[in-house]
Amino acid sequence: MSAARSGARLLIVGPPGAGKGTQAAKVSDLLGIPSISTGDIFRTNIREQTELGVKVKAIVDAGDYVPDELTNALVASRLEQPDAQTGFLLDGYPRTLEQVHFLDQLLEKAGTALDLVIQLTADEDELVRRLTHRAHEQGRSDDTEEAIRHRQGIYRRETAPLVDVYRTRGLLAEVNGLGTLDDVSGRIADALTARGIGATR
């Protein structure tokens, strides 16, 4: 099957425990585009001691939240790199409405736009069971059910307004994130195909 279009500009969102990072890597391989997480961008810049990285390290070391302005600058810098010119999959960005608007403007300046936002959905109780079991297996006694539910709540509050924006624009593809790795990957591939986004096989 040949690609219906050159590259793809995607976002992936999903609650903690839904396997977002694993699926992001699979989509990256499928479409030949880089999977870009804000966490990786922060770590790379800190490791390479870039000007922005020095600023991020100071903020993170102080236990503070990296402000939108700095996060936006780091993402913009990453999307300017050659491997992201024909497409990308963003994981963990945008997280605020201000970041949504910044990304819109950034892509508009480049003469492009987002193609699709993949939202992994999952029953919260099932995710809590999964994460509690994983924490027990890994001996992480601090990862209690209460702490896990708290993180799920933060995700819902932070992500709901962003998801609503993309749903209104007709860019949202909701994908059931429960099941085997291959099951979920297959659903994502189907969602991509439905939007005319494919890969050469």
pLDDT above 80: residue 6: no
Indicate whether 201 pLDDT > 60.
Answer: no
Secondary element (H or E) of residue 116:
strand 116-121
Residue 136 has pLDDT above 90, yes or no: no
Q: pLDDT tens for residues 33-75?
A: 999 998 889 999 999 999 989 999 998 888 888 899 999 999 9
Q: In whole angstroms, give the CA distance from residue 90 to residue 94.
A: 8
Give the pLDDT of residue 99. 95
Tens digits of residue pLDDT in 143-172: 889 989 998 998 888 888 999 999 999 999
Contact status, residue 151 vs residue 157, Cβ threshold 8 Å: no
Q: Is the peptide bond before 94 cis (omega within 30 degrees of 0)?
A: yes
Q: Is the pLDDT of residue 3 over 70?
A: no
> Looking at residue 39, what is its pLDDT?
86
Strands 35-37 and 88-91 turn out to be parallel
Q: Which domains does the chain have, with CATH numbers?
A: 9-37+85-194 (3.40.50.300)
If phi > 0 it is left, if psi is from -120 to 50 it is alpha, else beta; for residue 91 that is beta
pLDDT at 4 over 50: no
Structure pTM? 0.87
* pLDDT, tens digit (0-9, with 9 covering 90-100), for 67-116: 999 999 999 999 999 999 999 999 989 989 999 999 999 999 999 999 99
> Across residues 125-149, what is the average pLDDT?
88
Tokens of 105: 């403007």
Neighbours of 157 (CB within 10 A): 9
Amino acid at 172: L
